[in-house]
Structure formats: structure tokens, C-alpha cells
Chain A
């Protein structure tokens, strides 16, 4: 029935288009005067009416009679006719169908962006409400400041600080790896590499950015983690088999392409006139980059880093596989830690009842995570706005 409904709506729109166009052309032949709009605009305008009317009535019928009822396609046809008829009769020599269709386009565009925004708002609110339910069972103070996390223990405890610490530790390690690597490779690509080399390097880096994180995750767990452990032990350090360092290193490699690709675009956007000005003073290339290009590109680079940080904080698969599940509150990169995202994943894997504090805590974690990335994105946006047009 669904397929029939869709087909019938499209058919109604097609008929409306042809009819509307034919009526408009017919008026020219009869009157001899010129139409305000081309006949196809009259057709499009009527077709839009048929489409909207058909959709509206079909959705209504689906709710009233059920989507499988034969009433749905019938309603689609009826709605199409009802939607098209008044528009069809409006058409006249000086009817401005071209301008009227402009308004139809505007409404369609607003509706599409409205769906995206409303969905996001809906997700935020659903997470928020579940979080509030969770906070009926566990006090927010205990959640935000507790230093012990064991949702499966008896009694269960939901102190979120170890998760935050683990998340921050891994993010910091990732940034320490990816910041210099990404930025310096961006400088190389933007300022030193020949255009030919750059046209090869940049797509390759962007392919790296497209490696599924699950693949990077088992690479971290099976290759990097043992390597870190082995090299740590040969230096006489105690390294857990799943360490924050291994996860952070691989996560750093994950965000290198992100940082370098964004920074490269930003450095390229710095006007050549500024570089020329510096060269003409007798500055060398590296002096120019250090003292003119990078300061000019700084706001953009900061926002690239902020995006990379949000990406790292939200990353799950690498940490699930390489960092472990133990909620240790430690700053030792060789210890196993766990992150907010890992706990959300483990809390919701398998059969769950959806009213226990254990499951609901995932929503609270999700809300906190969302809040963190929101704040980071907001800061990045403000930095960019504040310094954006300084060199224009």
C-alpha cells in the first residue's frame, strides 16, 4: 500500500503539471496577450499543490485507517485533487506563477532544515528526560563528584569522575600526538610541498581519515598495545596490557588527518599578500610562516583543534578495544582507564531493562558528553568569529 500511495502521489503531481501547463498555454492561444510566467511555472505550481495535498491527506488517512488500509492511496488521490484544483483555477494570463513557485521553494527548504533541527532538539530532550529519571535514583552530586564507578557492583556506585579523567587523559595523549604531527604536516603541505605533491598527499591523508574506527581499534588492541607494553617493560615500567597510552596513540593517528587537512585549508586561505609583504622585508620562509602566516591562521587552527578534541572525546571503538573497562582514577598513561563513551557502550550491550539506574546512567553519561562537545564547539565558534576578519 505504501508503494501505491507514493506512486499515486507522483502520478497526481505529474497530471497536475501537465494540466496546469496546458491550461496556461491554452490561454495564450485564445487571448493573444503574453503570459506573465512561462507555462511550465503554472504547471509546477499546480503540481506542488497536488503533491502537498496528496501527502497531507495520505498521512492523515494512514493515521486514521492504518497504513495498510486501502484508504491511504485513495486519500492520496483525493488530496492531490483537492490540493491542485484551487491552484489550477487560479491560473490566468497575469497570474505570477513564477513568483508563487518561488514561495513554494522557500517553504520546502524551510521544512527540510526544520526536520534536521527538530530531530536534534528531540534527541537532546529525550536524553535530558531520561537523565532526569536517572537523577531520581542517584543524586546529581554523587554522579558528578563521586570518584567510584561500578554500575554492576553491590551496591552500585555511579561516580563519574574516573570516566571523565580517563576521557581527558586519552584525549590529551591523542592531542599531544596529533597536534604537532597534524599542524606540521599541514604547514609542509600548504607552504613547502609542490602543487603536484600536495595534490597526491592531501587525498591520501583524507583516505586515512576515512579508515573505520573499528579497524583502528583492533590495530590499537592487537598491535600498538602489545608494542607499548613490550617497550615499557624493557624500560622497566609496569604497563597494563590495555593502556591509555596505546589508545591515545592510535586515537592521535586518527585525528592527524582531520587536523592537517583542516589546517592546510586554513593556511592556504591566508592571503598571499601577507606572505609577499613579509618576504619583501627580507624574511625567510620559516620566519614568514612563524610570524605572519600562523598568527593570521591561528583562529582557524584553534577551531580545527577544537573539532579534533570533540572527535576524540566522542570516539568509542578504539578505546573499547585498547583502553580497557577498568574505571581507574589515575593520570598514569600506562594504566588501564575507561572513558565515558566506553561505559555507555558496555552499559547498553546485551539484554537490558530500561528502568534500572544502571541503564539510565548511560543517558546521564550521554548528556554530559553532549554538553562537553557542545561547549567545545561553542568555544571554537566564538574564537573563529572573534578573529575571523582581522586580515581582510
Chain B
């Protein structure tokens, strides 16, 4: 863990989090600032995110958690007036290095959005989209395999295997979100960023996605932004609490929800503000 930098103190809960103890970090960020024009959205943020685990970002709206998530695969590049400074590394490679290929980065660091956004194409074509543009399949059989595997991993195969040619937009909200997860998996990412993936879904669909996230943890580094404290407690091993553009507290999820170090964290997770 990077040394917390003054004046923004980050509390670590407990002092030696289990989830960080093996030292295999996928993403390391230090001294990151993000500006939207005049607005200073993230202030001197440092965090290490481990591989093969789910890390949850919680915090009130506008605290910068989604902004930081989008900084990890440079999706902020598409927003005019957004500037990112500081150092964010994925697998020890600085992703803001001018020499880096953003397209390759985003293939490695996939993203699932708040609102399911399947393309107006068939279910099959939605999943095949990524492998096609990256040339991952040599022929049709291989592409079929990738599509089937991705849909299986996303827990959607049994529901859609008989109607792969139908439009992805015709599925239910929860199915659409799992389709988007399948689509992200299809390009073999190593990191999956999820920006409130369940906020547009009903509790049953949410439970399915959470189950899926828990399975995907075996193979991927997953970062999830959520407004639901229960969701963070259920799916994540690590929790990071953001407030006003700073990282307030970061550590093992179970410890943080039972014994937070900082008063603001405690107030937020007990619902006293935010």
C-alpha cells in the first residue's frame, strides 16, 4: 500500500488487510487527480487493487468513484474537458503513457455500464462484436465457441441458446446486463470494471448478477461501483469509501462494515449521511 499522502489521509482497515496481503496488485494508482474543466473531481488519490478479487467503490453521489473507475480504462478520454494527472498502472504499465495503445488497454480492461447497453444487433452479434474487431477467432467455428463460452460464463447460455439470432434489445433488463457482461468477457479481459451494474435491475436479476460476479472473481480482477451497501458487503472482498473526491478509507470488506476507522465511513455505511 502506498503511503497515504497529506493532506488527504487514507485510513486502512484493518492495518494489514488480508485481501492485500499477498501483494499481487493488478492496478496501482498514486497521486491521481481528475479535473472536468474547472471541477476538481478526484484529489490526489492513491489505491492498490488486487487481482482475483472484487473491490467495491462506495460513497455518496458525486464523490468521484465512477470518475476514477472510468480513469482506469481511459473512458474519460471521450469526455471533453476531462484531464487526468498522476500515475495509474495496470500490470506495472503506466496507462497514461503516450505510447500506450488505448484500444488495447480497453480490450484488457473491460467495462460494464450502469444501464444495460446492448447494441441493436442479434444476441450472437453482440457477443461476437469484440472478438471480430480484435480478430480473436480464426473461423466461424472458433467464433461460435467464443460466443458460447462467454454466454456460459455470464450464465445466459441456457436462456438464449435457441434464439441467438434475435435482437439483444429484446431481452429483459437483467438478461441484457448479463449479455453486456458476456460481451465484455468475450475479448478475454483481465480486469472488469462495473459501474453500478445492478442499479437498473430488479432484486432477482440483481441476485443473479451478484452470483455471477462472485464466480468471475476466480479469473478476473473486478472493480465494482455501487450505491448499495448490502451489495458491497455481499460481493466484495475489499471496499473503498470515497468522499468529496478523496479516498477516505480502504480495506477488507468485512472489517470495514463492522469496525470502520473513520467516523465519516461509519456515518455513511450506517446511513447517517449520503
Contact = CB atoms under 8 A, between A and B. Distances in A.
Interface of A: 195, 271, 273-284, 287, 291-292, 295-296, 390-392
Contact of B119 (A277, A279, A392): A277
Contacts of B103: 282-284
Interface in B86-105: 103-105
Contacts of A392: 169
13 contacts: A276-B117, A277-B118, A278-B119, A279-B78, A280-B111, A281-B107, A281-B183, A282-B103, A282-B107, A282-B130, A283-B133, A295-B119, A391-B120
A392 B184 CA distance: 20
B75 A280 contact: yes
B120 A271 contact: no
Contacts of A391: 120, 169
B157 interface: no
Contacts of B115: 273
Max chain A Cβ within 10 angstroms of own Cβ: one of B105, B108, B118, B133: B133
B122 to A, nearest CB: 11
Interface string B112-129: 010101111100000001
A219 to B, nearest CB: 39
A275 B107 CA distance: 15
Given A275-B78, A295-B119, 19 more contacts: A274-B120, A276-B117, A277-B118, A277-B180, A278-B119, A278-B129, A280-B106, A281-B106, A281-B110, A281-B187, A282-B106, A282-B107, A282-B187, A287-B133, A291-B133, A295-B120, A390-B120, A390-B169, A391-B169
Interface string B183-195: 1100100000000
A336 B80 CA distance: 52
Max chain B Cβ within 10 angstroms of own Cβ: one of A273, A274, A277, A284: A277
Contact of B113 (A195, A276, A295): A276
A381 B129 CA distance: 30
A280 B112 CA distance: 8
Nearest to A282: B107
Contacts of A277: 113, 117-119, 180, 183
A217 B103 CA distance: 49
Nearest to A295: B120
B184 A274 contact: no
Q: 10 closest A-B pairs (Cβ-Cβ)?
A: A282-B107, A280-B111, A273-B117, A282-B106, A281-B130, A390-B120, A277-B117, A391-B120, A282-B103, A296-B120
Contacts of A283: 103, 129-130, 133
B18 interface: no
A281 B73 CA distance: 10
Given A195-B80, A390-B167, A282 B117 contact: no
Q: Per DSSP, are chain B's interface residues mostly helix, strand or loop, or mixed?
A: helix
B106 A279 contact: yes
B161 interface: no
B134 interface: yes
A295 B103 CA distance: 21
Given A281-B184, A283-B133, A292 B78 contact: no
Contacts of B113: 273, 276-277, 280
A391 B121 CA distance: 9
A343 to B, nearest CB: 44
A284 B102 CA distance: 9
A279 to B, nearest CB: 6
Max chain B Cβ within 10 angstroms of own Cβ: one of A275, A279, A296: A279
Contacts of A281: 106-107, 110, 129-130, 133, 183-184, 187
A287 B129 CA distance: 10
B133 A280 contact: no
Contact of A276 (B78, B110, B120, B184): B78
A168 B120 CA distance: 34
A269 to B, nearest CB: 13
A315 B75 CA distance: 47
A278 B107 CA distance: 10
B117 A271 contact: yes
Nearest to A288: B133
A197 to B, nearest CB: 13
A277 B120 CA distance: 12
A195 B79 CA distance: 12
B74 to A, nearest CB: 9
Nearest to A389: B169
B144 to A, nearest CB: 19
Contacts of B120: 274, 295-296, 390-391
Nearest to A292: B119
A390 B184 CA distance: 21
A278 B183 CA distance: 10
A390 B160 CA distance: 19
Contacts of B180: 277
A273 B115 CA distance: 8
A295 B120 CA distance: 8
A282 B169 contact: no
Nearest to A281: B130
B134 A282 contact: yes
Interface string B38-78: 00000000000000000000000000000000000101001
